[in-house]
Amino acid sequence: MMKPANRFTFEREKALGQGIRELASDLRLVEPADYINFVRTERFANIANLISSSAELFFKPGTIFFGHSGDVEVTWDQPPTVALDMEFRHMQVSVYFRLVLEDRKAGVEITYVAFDGASGEPDENTRRLVAAIADARLTPLAQFDDTEHDGIGYTDLEPRLPDSPATSLGQA
């Protein structure tokens, strides 16, 4: 059962999603059959290597990791879906999330977030997360909107409904 969405969850997932959009795009270059094989045969070190190699293109070392767990959904009537458990740690902010890779898009669902020395104000904690993501990146985050950029449509993220899937990254 999915957790109920709230404003803070949405804002944090949107910030994380925008922050890792390029990483998700890079990870979608790997053939789905490879992910299926690695997950089903529990070769999680192979996935960790793929993620580490992709993450080093966009993030400072030691900030984003594979959580050594994942799942694949493969049916006869739908393209495969790959879900990878991930961790982000930087500036006393830790986020555990699931990155969902699909045929034309990717999404994130935060499963747990912790702030060392957390503020009593959730908005302040969200600002800390945004600052941590920005600081962890090797290059500043480009601003995304609803327009076309180089033929790739970037969609505004909409709030999740209580039983809806993870926040979409659009065409990652």
Q: Tens digits of per-residue pLDDT, 125-172?
A: 999 999 999 999 999 876 544 333 333 322 333 333 344 444 555 444
pLDDT in tens, 95-110: 999 999 999 899 999 9
Per-residue pLDDT at 6: 87
Q: Which residues contact 107 (CB under 8 A, 6 or more apart)?
A: 17, 99, 100, 165, 166, 167, 168, 169
131 Cβ neighbours under 8 A, 6+ residues apart:
91
pTM of the model: 0.80
pLDDT tens for residues 56-107?
999 999 999 999 999 999 999 999 999 999 999 999 999 999 999 999 899 9
Task: Please compute the mean of the pLDDT values over residues 20-46 and round it to a whole number.
Answer: 96
H/E element, 117: none
Token look-up 């999680």 returns 44
